[in-house]
Structure formats: structure tokens, C-alpha cells
Structure 1
Amino acid sequence: MNLAYPLILGSKSPRRKEILQKAGFQFSTEAKDTEESYPDDLPKTEVAAFLSEKKANAFLGNSSYDNKIVLTADTTVLIDGMLLEKPKDAPEAFAMLKKLSGRKHQVISGFAILCNGEVTSYSDETLVHFSEINDQEIENYIKKHQPFDKAGAYGIQEGLGLTHIDRLEGSYFTVMGLPIHLVYKALTAIH
């Protein structure tokens, strides 16, 4: 895939890297540690786009990124108006998965593109319907997959994500962490 400028994925996520590769993009990877904080009054549905933009802004002002495209992303999980972030430990992961069991929730993946000193952010939402998950299944999943780097304590491509998601309303790749259909449009529109 030929883009107007070299592409840098500003993320350490192996899932985002895999999605971009499968979509045919050539890119390098370079993440900058960014504090994932946001204003308390920010609507929860806008947090993913806000954090993506914050991550892209970490690359601003450095001339080595001139004539390059930097893509950053963030994913959030929302249920009952509550944001489920990355769990700190096994008990927190257990509580999150228990809350998601037998219910539907929103997954919002935001992404931002830095090009020629300008940052543009986007987001996409998918509704995820989980079937009931028993306590033993949750405990086994946490032990085996250590989902502490995932918002909502699960990955759609492994374990409970494979066996307990009944249906999606929206993009599978948005839940995986990168709404590639929108990323593709945005990247290929850059001239």
C-alpha cells in the first residue's frame, strides 16, 4: 500500500500491528509513553479519541516526524455509563468480566493521525453482546491470558472473546483495537 509519506504506528499493541499488516500497510513502530489521563467532564464516549490525540501530540514538535504519518490509537469499554479501563490486577479483571457477563456493552476505538504538524482524531463504536460467563471460566481466562493490557479485561480474539461473544453490532476490528475501515479511508486520503 503506497501512502503519501512513510507510516509510523505509534503503539506497542501487537493487535494493532497485526491489523495494519493484514490490511497491507508498510510501517515502522515507535510508541511514546503518554499518561492516559483525561478531563473528568469529558463525555465517556469521547475518551478514546481524546487519548489517541494525546498520544499523537507526543510526536508533535519534533522535526524527525516531518513528512511522515504517525497513527496512534486507544480503545475504551463502556457499560452502564462506566468506563472499564485496563484492570490493575486479577480481582479487578474478575469484577469487570462479571459485570460484562450476559450483557451488552460499547467498545469505542479512537485513532489519531499526525501529518504535517496537524493532528486529526476519529472514533468508531461497536456494541458487543456477551453470553453468561461463570466464575470458573472467568478465573481460567484471567490465569491463562493475563488480560491486564486490555480495556474491559478481555480480547475479542482469545479465550472468552472467542467463546462468549454472541454477536456484534459494528466492526470486529474496532473491538480488537483499530477500526481499520476508517483508518484505511483516512490514510489513503492523505496527499
Structure 2
Amino acid sequence: MLFVMERIVLASQSPRRKQLLEWAEVPFDVIVRPTDESYPPGLDISEVPVHIARGKAQLVREELSHDRLVLAADTIVVLGDRIIGKPVDRDDAIRILSDLSGQQHKVITGVVMIKGSQEVAFSDTTAVDFHELTADQIAFYVDKYKPYDKAGAYAIQEWIGVVGIRTIKGDFYNVMGLPVSRVVQTLESWS
């Protein structure tokens, strides 16, 4: 028998996070508030997405009764010691993917769950290796898929993930934006 869990609140507008929770059959409502996504200087890179996710969760949490569980997440892409955000335009997306071409980078998703006075926070890291990508491949991907709302200027579940990724080490769904199996395990242990 499947575990029946309470309806949670997803503090994210990401269609990928919604899709992953739907696939896991986690019942949820979406409530999103504009959040400052800056972080303190000197914060360890692995803590950056947790810091941002906590801000998202706390803003939504303030509006709800204490018995609702709020889930928030934030995903960053890290090349070397540099955080790569979402591209601002076509040229920026092409530059980002050119930087990732032939390299290994990390995708780190920070997750924060708040219910009442309880909080669970963690991050999950996946290493992704790209093949060498040609300028034509990069331009084709950017022009067709317009990855302007994606950290690192790509989505692993799209064309570039199918043809451009050599290997991944870690949770595939973490690269999509949510380490959903770990989230579900945490939700089940919490209830």
C-alpha cells in the first residue's frame, strides 16, 4: 500500500519541480512569493541554494497556518568555484554552454521544508560531464529550446541532455531541479 501523505505547499513556480512532485504522486498546492535570491558573501557554495530556498519557504510560511508543510528548493550550477546562474539573453546562454562544453560541473539543489517550528534543510549534488559541443549544436539548442529560465542554460531532459551529456554521477532528478526521492523519503519520515 502506498503511503498517503498530507497536501503540502510548494513554494516554487518551476514547472519541473511541479512535474517531479506529480510523478511522485505527492499532493501539493503552489504558492510563490517574490524572493531575494542574493546571499551573504563568503557563504559556502553548497549552502547558497539552501539559503535561497529557506528565504522562499519562510516568505510563504508566514502566510499559512502552522500545520501546513512548505517545501522550497533552489538549484545552482557550479563550474570550478563559480556559480553559473540563468542566462540573461541568447548571447549569455551561448557563452555559458560554451564554458560547460567538455567540462564537468556540479548541480546543487538546496531543499528546505518547514512545518510549524520544525525545519529540515539539505542540499544534493550531482556531477555532470558534457561532451565537447560544437558552436552549431549550442546555437541550435539555445534557439530551439530558449533555456533562459534555467540555471546553467540547459535542461537535462531536453535535446542537449540527450546528445551532449557524457556522464552524470548522482541523482538525475536533482539536475532537473529536485532530488525527489530524497524529498519523498523525508516527507514520509516526517508524517
Shift of residue 99 of structure 1? 0.6
What code does the residue aligned with 2:34 have? D
Of the structure 1 ranges 157-166 and 74-83, higher mean CA displacement relative to structure 2 is found in 157-166
Matched pairs, number: 189
TM-score normalised to structure 2 length:
0.94
Q: Which runs of 5+ in 1 are unaligned?
A: none
* Structure 1: 4+ residue segments shifted above 4 A: none
In the alignment, structure 1 residue 42 sits paired with structure 2 residue 27: no
* Contact 1:107 1:125 (8 Å CA) reproduced: yes
Tell me which residue corresponds to 1:106: 106
Q: Is the CA contact 2:61–2:70 (under 8 Å) kept in the aligned structure 1?
A: no
1:161 aligns to 2:188 (yes or no): no
Cα deviation digits, residues 95-127 of structure 1 (max 9, x gap): 110010011110001111011133321110000
| Match in the other structure for 1:61 | 62
CA distance in 1, matches of 2:78, 2:189: 30
Contact 2:53 2:72 in 1 (8 A): yes
Q: What does 1:24-173 align with in structure 2 at a 5 Å threshold? A: 24-62=25-63, 64-173=64-173
Local SS of the residue matching 2:60: coil
**Secondary structure, aligned partner of 2:112:** strand
Amino acid at match of 1:48: P
| 8 Å Cα contact 2:7-2:26 kept in structure 1 | no
Identical-residue share of aligned pairs (%): 35
* Contact 1:53 1:120 (8 Å CA) reproduced: no
Equivalent in the alignment of 1:15:
16
Aligned to 1:2, which of 4, 19, 35?
A: 4
Q: Which amino acid aligns with 2:158?
A: E
- Is the 2:46–2:123 Cα contact (8 Å) retained in structure 1? no
Residues 60 and 117 of structure 1 are in contact (CA less than 8 Å); yes or no, is this contact kept in structure 2? Answer: no
**Aligned AA for 1:126?**
T
Cα distance change, pair 6–117 in 1 and its aligned pair in 2 (3 A): farther
3-state SS, counterpart of residue 138 of structure 1: helix
Cα deviation for residue 60 of structure 1 reads: 3.2
- 2 CA distance for matches of 1:46 and 1:152? 18
Whole-angstrom distance in 2 between the partners of 1:40 and 1:190: 33
Superposed CA RMSD: 1.2
Distance 2:122 2:65 in 1: 21
TM-score with structure 1 setting the length: 0.94
In the alignment, the residues of structure 2 paired with residue 177 and residue 189 of structure 1 have an alpha-carbon distance, to the nearest angstrom, of 22
Q: Aligned-pair distance for 1:79?
A: 0.6
| CA shift digits 1:19-43 (9 cap, x unpaired) | 1111111111111111111011111
Which runs of 5 or more structure 2 residues have no equivalent in the other structure?
none
Answer whether contact 1:6 1:67 (CA < 8 A) is retained. no
